[in-house]
Amino acid sequence: MTRPLEGLKVLDFTHVLAGPFATRVLGDLGADVVKINSQARAIGANDPQNPYYIMWNRNKRALALDMSHAQARQTCRELAEQADIVIDNFSVGVLDRWGVGFDDVSQVNKGVIYVQMSGMGDGGPWSDFVTYAPTIHALAGLTQLTGVEGREDIGIGFSYNDHQAGLHGAVAILAALEARHRTGCGQRIDISQFEVGANFVGPSLMDFMINGHAARPTGNDLPYDKLAPHGCYPCAPNSTAATAQIYDAVAAERWIAIACMSDEQWHSLARLMGDPEWTSTAQYSHATGRYEHRALIDSKIAQWTQNQDAYELMTRCQNAGIPAGVVQNGVDLVERDPQLRASNFLFEFEDVHPEIGPTFADRLPIHFANTPCDQYSRVRALGEDNESVLRDWLGVSEEDFANTQAEGWLQ
């Protein structure tokens, strides 16, 4: 049974994370994603042996094109004329300068959908800005809102907005395909990764516009709900021999997140703690009183959790109806997490990479009943699929491919 996007042709010029994540989703769903790269560009996060590249470029074929050559640009134009989707996250205008932009290609390929995923979008005074996750997070307000009080410089610390921009890209493509199904026409899609980030601070913008309240970092507190306890609490350190060999004392720390969203959950937590006398204080019986004294409550809970096994405590909390979760690290997710193990979420590719060796990945977290998406191909080496792509998309013969390869622009 075929996957949902079988037969869809995607020409992928993306790099780093946001764009490659969008096209990885399409590849997981069955699309024929052709990743364009070259020896000149295969550096840093665009190097096929870089962990970033390995993570975000599975289920894609690799075509090496040196776009400094006129023949490479002509071949790229022919590929674009066969594509359903052309996607890039270059600065605005790069594909146009190569002669493979939407205005040129759509004259021949009426149904083609172009997706431009630049940092700031097309137009506006900042459209030429070079952006990465830390700068997007900062400009969009995410850094300021996700720190702790007095430390607006902390921020998220991971490429959250890149993932969100990638998901926006994938959804936009699916919407454009539906529009094409109805009208027969493709279109150009402009995605501003900056606007994606600003979209996630919408409640803070609304609070300021309506109430004149400038949002501040809230740490583990909810910004618009006064609930307590709602935080992370220390548990007994992870002192297993295996962990001790890998991590230092800080990394061996154990924490548990506990979030009481109702009075009932608070009373359940109090019972789980053995109903110590301090929990019976009248003002702790309602959320407002607990919130006003949350620092004291947090210190009391930390005294109770600090010598307990985090996983055992999580289970006891959950069995009592109290939302709780261990603050897991990468080793936990790979070696200890029973939920991920039960779903075979993490796996090793059967096809061993000829240069890197064994590689691993996470499965698409979407499960289709009738069109299962459970086919995964490892990341490909630079230009590994040159012949198959030119044969399948352009009908190039074996003899013609040999002549083309000798010309030196397939690299």
162 belongs to the catalytic site: yes
- Amino acid making up residue 384: E
CB 140 within 8 A of CB 194: yes
Transcribe 27-58 into DSSP letters. HHTT-EEEEEE-TTT-SGGGSTTSHHHHHH--
Exposed, middle or buried, 125 (CB in 10 Å: 0-12/13-18/19+)?
A: exposed
> Which residue type sits at 113?
I
Report the DSSP beta bridge partners of residue 324: 258
Say which amino acid occupies 210.
I
For residues 380 and 33, is the Cβ–Cβ distance under 8 A?
Answer: no
Query: How far is residue 323's CA from residue 314's CA, in Å, rounded to a whole number?
Result: 8
Contacts of 183-189 spanning 24+ positions with Cβ under 8 A: 184/110, 184/111, 185/110, 185/111, 186/106, 186/109, 186/110, 186/111, 186/112, 186/113, 186/114, 187/113, 187/114, 188/102, 188/106, 188/113, 188/114, 188/116, 189/113, 189/114, 189/115, 189/116
Q: How far apart are CA 34 and CA 171, in angstroms?
A: 19
Catalytic member of 84, 162, 298, 385: 162
Q: Which helix (H) or strand (E) holds 73?
A: helix 70-82
Strands (E), 249-397: 254-259, 324-326, 346-348, 360-362
Computed on alpha carbons and rounded to an integer, the radius of gyration of the chain in Å comes to 26
The Cα–Cα gap between 84 and 104 comes to 15
What does 335-356 look like in DSSP terms, one character per residue? II-HHHHHTT-EEE-SS-BTTT
Q: Are 255 and 327 in contact (CB under 8 A)?
A: yes
- Residues 288 and 49: their CA atoms lie apart, in Å, by 53
Measured between its terminal Cα atoms, the distance across the chain in Å is 35
Active site residue ranges: 162
